[in-house]
Chain A
Amino acid sequence: MKDSEIVDLYWKRDENAIRESDVKYGKMLRSVSNNFVSTEQDAEECVNDTYFKAWNQMPTDRPDKLGAYLTKIVRAVSVDRYRAETADRRGGPAIASEELSDMIPSDFSIDDHIDSQLLKETLNAFLSGLPKFSRIVFVKRYFYCESIMQICADTELTSSQVKTSLFRTREKLYEILKKEGLI
């Protein structure tokens, strides 16, 4: 079924929307969630929460790319669950997050308020200016939280090439964030 047809089902409040979403994207969503949470059961629950959120948001939202839309939700749900359950343990998300924090000065201090909208807009502008391949590697690592080895398998690059690409992209991002006064 086409994305637009599934979205129509959501808008009509037809519960088949969830079944069709799961048929088309369930496997992919579980795979993304698995990058963040530690058990299959947790991933399953995150995916169910994702459909629930999509069900509640859809009368307002009308996504063009349903797969990417659901992926954004499942990532947010999975990150929340990861943070709630593994506050003091390390894992894939912690390592990826640490890589990003490495570029922030250790004495950096901020007010309580972080302009998340500006941060999002800055990131999108930054990504649009990146070479396609660097952008894909960056999104795989920091959005999907894929391991270096997973990225190597998908891109056929060596791990040192992936690490170098990520390092240089983070350097560029640091410069942009600094220029925008976010860091």
Chain B
Amino acid sequence: MNGRDKMAQALFDAVGMIDEEYIKEAADYKKNKKRKRLLRTVSLIAASLVVVTAIFIPLLIGLGSVFDRGGNASGSKMSVKTLKSGEKLAYDAAALIWQREGQTDYSYVDLSEAKAEKMIEYATKTPVAAKTETEIRVWIKLGSGEYVSPQLKQSVGNTGLDLFDFSPELELSDTIADIINNSESGNPK
């Protein structure tokens, strides 16, 4: 057995000695998923019940509606569009992009450049209560082609949509969560 094989074997054996909390965590994951699904359904129902109120929240905090492009007050809704995994947005417009846990596709709505920048500014200024788990990942795409996750540092690696393994995991602000819930509720697939 050469050095490489020895090391590989030692590594494989060392994986067998990892902390029991990680072993339990992985074993329990499937069970938790059912609970998470239930929670997700309940939260979506709750979100749809308050959808009318929630639409006005961005207006109250000075963001304007996410659906109104270029600062006009038309209020016309943009539909939620779908992007396949690995597929990139083919134009230079700004957008809010999200992916729920377990989904392979991404959803997005168009934003005006000013709106996107305002959202980033707001998200970074507003304190966010730490959550232990997040079931959704969000990016804001600027017209420059740069991708930003609101509560994460910008990274040169954030140049496509095939994104994994952000650390720490994304923590959504309630504002962003509301925008997503509203747009999904308003545009059921």
Contact = CB atoms under 8 A, between A and B. Distances in A.
Interface stretch (B4-12, B72-80, B175-183): B4-12
B156 interface: no
A154 to B, nearest CB: 5
Interface string A106-146: 11111000101001100110010111111110011011100
B121 interface: no
A123 B14 contact: yes
Given A72-B20, A97-B12, A67 B27 contact: yes
A101 B101 CA distance: 30
Nearest to B30: A154
B21 to A, nearest CB: 7
Interface string B4-44: 11111111111111111111111101100100000000000
Contact of B13 (A67, A79, A140): A79
Contacts of A71: 23, 27
A100 interface: yes
B187 interface: no
B168 interface: yes
Question: Which of A109, A143, A164 has most chain B Cβ within 10 Å?
Answer: A143
A131 B6 contact: no
B109 to A, nearest CB: 23
Interface residues of B, number: 41
A40 interface: no
Contacts of A119: 10-11, 14
A92 to B, nearest CB: 12
A123 B15 contact: yes
Contact of B9 (A97, A108, A172): A97
Interface in A13-36: 28
Interface of B: 2-27, 29-30, 33, 85, 101-102, 104, 133, 162, 164-169
